[in-house]
C-alpha cells in the first residue's frame, strides 16, 4: 500500500504564501509597499524630536527687565482700586512713596467695564479712575475679563508693573519673567520682583 498524502493545514498554506510575497516584490505598487518596523525605528531615531519654544523677549537680560525705569507704567486691576479706598490710600502718592519715582497708572477698558458692572457700590472707585491723571488703554479683544487682558498685555509688552491684590492673578503673572507686582500690605503699597537697581524697597 502506498503512503497517504497529508494535506497541509490552512495556516501553513497562508504562512507559506506570506513568506513568498516580500515587501520589495516588484509586483507590489509603490503605495502598497510598507516600510518595515526596523527601518521605521531607524528613521525615528535619526530625526531629533521637534520642540516649540516661545521666543524670549529682547527686553530681558536673563530675568532682568531692561525696559523698566522711571517714569514707571503701572497697570491697575479692579481690586487694587477697591483695596486702596478701603485702606484710605491716595494711589498717586502711595505709588511714589513705594517706588521713589514718577508713576503713570494705566486703566484698561476691561477694568473700567468690570467696575461699571459692579454697580453703585463701587461708584467711588469709578469716580477716582476717571481722573485725567489715569491713562486709558483701549482693548481690542473679545470679552471683558480683566485678568486675561492684563496677562496678555504684560506678555506682549514688558514695560509694565501690574498692581493687583488678586492671588490668582499674582500666581499667573509670577510665571511671566521680568514683570514686577505691586500689592497692598500693612496699609501701604509694596512691590515684589523689582530689580534692586531701581531703588525699590527690600522686603
pLDDT of residue 76: 94
pLDDT of residue 203: 53
Cα radius of gyration (the chain): 33
pLDDT tens for 14-58 read 555 555 567 677 777 776 666 555 555 665 666 666 777 667 777
pLDDT of residue 100: 87
Query: Which residues have a Cβ under 8 Å from the Cβ of 55 and sit 6 or more positions away?
Result: none
pLDDT tens for 53-107 read 667 777 776 667 778 888 899 999 999 999 999 999 999 999 999 888 899 999 9
Q: Cα–Cα distance between 57 and 72 in angstroms, integer?
A: 19
pLDDT tens for 145-189 read 888 999 999 998 888 999 999 999 999 999 988 899 999 998 999
Residue 43 CA to chain centroid, in angstroms? 35
Q: Cα–Cα distance between 170 and 31 in angstroms, integer?
A: 55
pLDDT of residue 42: 63
Looking up cell 516588484 gives 26
CATH number of 67-197: 3.40.50.1010
Amino acid at each position: 500500500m502506498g503512503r497517504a498524502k497529508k494535506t497541509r493545514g490552512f495556516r501553513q498554506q497562508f504562512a507559506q504564501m506570506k513568506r513568498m510575497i516580500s515587501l520589495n516584490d516588484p509586483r507590489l505598487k509603490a503605495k502598497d509597499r510598507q516600510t518595515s518596523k526596523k527601518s521605521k525605528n531607524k528613521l525615528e531615531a535619526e530625526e531629533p524630536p521637534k520642540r516649540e519654544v516661545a521666543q524670549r523677549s529682547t527686553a530681558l537680560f536673563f530675568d532682568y527687565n531692561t525696559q523698566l525705569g522711571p517714569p514707571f507704567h503701572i497697570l491697575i486691576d479692579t481690586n487694587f482700586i477697591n483695596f486702596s479706598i478701603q485702606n484710605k490710600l491716595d494711589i498717586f502718592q502711595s505709588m511714589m512713596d513705594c517706588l521713589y519715582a514718577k508713576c503713570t497708572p494705566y486703566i484698561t477698558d476691561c477694568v473700567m467695564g468690570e467696575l461699571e458692572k459692579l454697580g453703585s457700590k463701587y461708584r467711588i472707585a469709578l469716580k477716582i479712575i476717571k481722573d485725567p491723571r489715569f491713562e486709558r488703554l483701549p482693548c481690542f479683544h473679545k470679552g471683558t475679563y480683566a485678568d486675561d487682558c492684563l496677562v496678555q498685555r504684560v506678555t506682549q509688552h514688558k514695560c509694565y508693573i501690574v498692581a493687583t491684590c488678586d492671588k490668582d492673578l499674582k500666581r499667573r503673572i509670577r510665571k511671566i519673567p521680568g514683570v514686577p507686582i505691586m500689592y497692598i500690605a500693612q496699609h501701604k503699597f509694596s512691590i515684589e520682583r523689582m530689580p534692586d537697581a531701581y531703588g525699590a524697597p527690600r522686603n
